[in-house]
Amino acid sequence: MDISAVTGIDHVRLSDDGTAVVILDQTELPNRTVYLSLTEAGEMFDAILKLRVRGAPCIGIFAGYAMYVLASRYPETEYAPFLEHFLADKQYLNSSRPTAVNLSWALQRMEGIVLANSEKPVSEIILLLKAESVEIHEEDIRMCTAIAEYGLTLVKDGDGILTHCNAGPLATSRYGTALGPILMGHERGYKFRVFSDETRPLLQGARLTSYELQKAGVDVTLICDNMASIVMKNGWVQACFVGCDRVAANGDAANKIGTSGVAILARHYGIPFYVLGPTSTVDMACPTGDDIKIELRDPDEIKKKFYAEPMALPEVKCYNPAFDVTDHSLITAIVTEKGICRPPYTESLAALFK
Ligand code: MRU
């Protein structure tokens, strides 16, 4: 099966002349294919905040390219003012969204290049920043491919798989994480039946996951989030595959709001629940899920977005957390590019970084 319609798209890249980051605006999908060319820190911040570019690894890739593009335009040619400008932009972009660790992880790598090469001319540092941003992207491609291979060993031909939010190529590069085993298996002739939670309130499951799987020719059925229980009860789901935005050292995993509910349902019905993500999403400095900052978003995303008219009175209070944390006790395994981690996660995750 040819899945290149979804895995072959460069949805985050440097422009040919290297002066802009080009992104596929994910807020326009599935109805329009719109590419944006970003050059200013403000529009880059906005692209992350508004989810034009989204998904933990993808935000990291974007941040790498963004810092290169910004740094290559600084007027400063002396190291000290160049570094000051760089750190200010880095801090600014880092403040756009708090939960996905890949953002700060990628920004930290870019800063590491600047700090480690302080004796070199600024023009050379800029070239090194470009190389690092490309390396972050290429690493992600390799990590997603390895995650897909490992994940594929957890399911068999004919299985039903439920996923939540979007952890496909659009959220990463090439195969994606949670969708990786599905797409790779499909390529190899496996027949999976996928249930995609629509993922309220921003509908990544409807707008992005069902789009990607449909385009790849995978059997996908879109369901509302509150239908996950019935499809599990019907015996249609043999495994849950979800992505992650930050995994704590004890295996607690933050992912799109609603993920922990899926894990609780899966436990009830005896269905294995797998979290898939690169080691760049594992934050060993974060002891437990309680230490993960959860992004709170605009209540209008619940009340107004996607509706012709508001669906609640303006004075009605709204709580709109973008992520929740799935307790490690509900997670059957965490699949990384370095292998499959099983409980106890304090040990199996630590072993990844030895
Ligand atoms: O708010 P989003 O759309 O950026 O949230 C994305 C998710 O929660 C994904 O599941 C996660 O980032 C993993 S992407 C491989």
Q: Are 136 and 122 in contact (CB under 8 A)?
A: no
Distance CA 158, CA 163 (A): 16
Pocket flag, ligand 1, residue 48 (CB < 6 Å): no
Mean pLDDT of the chain: 97
Q: Are 263 and 330 in contact (CB under 8 A)?
A: yes
Q: In angstroms, what is the span from residue 121 Cα to ligand 1's centroid? A: 38
Q: In angstroms, what is the span from residue 307 Cα to ligand 1's centroid? A: 23
H or E element that contains 60: helix 56-71
Beta strand residue intervals within the chain, DSSP E:
12-14, 21-24, 35-38, 160-163, 193-197, 219-223, 239-242, 246-248, 253-256, 273-276, 282-283, 323-326, 333-336, 339-341
Distance CA 161, CA 30 (A): 22
| Other beta carbons less than 10 A from residue 147's beta carbon | 30
Pocket flag, ligand 1, residue 180 (CB < 6 Å): no
**Token pair listed for 322:** 């973008």
Pocket flag, ligand 1, residue 165 (CB < 6 Å): yes
Using pLDDT thresholds of 50, 70 and 90, give the confidence band for residue 168. very high
Distance CA 104, CA 325 (A): 19
Pocket flag, ligand 1, residue 171 (CB < 6 Å): yes
The predicted structure's pLDDT at residue 147: 98
Q: Tell me: the pLDDT tens digits for 27-78?
A: 999 999 999 999 999 999 999 999 999 999 999 999 999 999 999 999 999 9
Q: Tell me: the pLDDT tens digits for 201-260?
A: 999 999 999 999 999 999 999 999 999 999 999 999 999 999 999 999 999 999 999 999
Side chain identity, residue 204: Q
| pTM of the shown model | 0.97
Note the CATH number of domain 155-352.
Answer: 3.40.50.10470
Instruction: Indicate which residue's Cα is closest to atom 15 of ligand 1.
Output: 167
Pocket flag, ligand 1, residue 167 (CB < 6 Å): yes
Residue whose CB lies within 8 A of the most ligand 1 atoms, among 54, 212, 225, for a mutation test: 54
Known catalytic residue at 245: yes
Class for the domain spanning 4-144: mainly alpha
Q: Which of 245, 252, 283, 324 is catalytic?
A: 245
Distance CA 218, CA 193 (A): 8
- CA-CA-CA-CA torsion sign (293, 299, 303, 308): negative
Q: Where are the domains of the chain?
A: 4-144, 155-352
Pocket flag, ligand 1, residue 245 (CB < 6 Å): yes
